[in-house]
Amino acid sequence: MLPTALPMKQIGAILKAQLGDAANRVPTRSIPDTVVRIAAVFRRELRPIVPVLGYAKKVSSDRARKVLGWTARDAEEAIVASGESMVAKGLLKN
């Protein structure tokens, strides 16, 4: 069975735990799918995400490993590295 992608709520919690104050505006709560669906009626920018609400995407790096000999980072390590890069580039504002 393939692993599933991490929920955004969990990604936010990882960033807050590892980046401290630099991630103080990263959300760690979630909005119910029903609320997003209703809001999408009035907010055009929400419409593209409605079809994927409630869908847990299955992910795998098997092909990259087999074809390229590439090994993926641990999910938490990759999330923290991405967050640190965003902080270094000034993309996370306090």
Q: Tens digits of per-residue pLDDT, 51-91? A: 999 887 787 888 989 999 988 888 899 999 999 999 999 88
Q: What pLDDT score does 40 carry?
A: 97
What is the rounded CA–CA span in Å between residue 76 and residue 10?
A: 10
Distance, C-alpha 15 to centroid of its chain? 10
The answer to whether the predicted template modeling score (pTM) of the entire model surpasses 0.85 is: no
CB-facing half-sphere around the CA of 74: CA atoms within 13 A: 4
Rounded mean pLDDT, 29-53? 94
Examine the pLDDT at 17 and tell me if it is beyond 90: yes
Q: What pLDDT score does 88 carry?
A: 92
Asked if 80 and 18 count as a contact pair (C-beta separation under 8 A), the reply is: yes
Q: Which amino acid is at 34?
A: T
Identify the CA nearest to 61 among candidates 5, 15, 10, 7: 5
Identify the CA nearest to 76 among candidates 2, 11, 7: 11
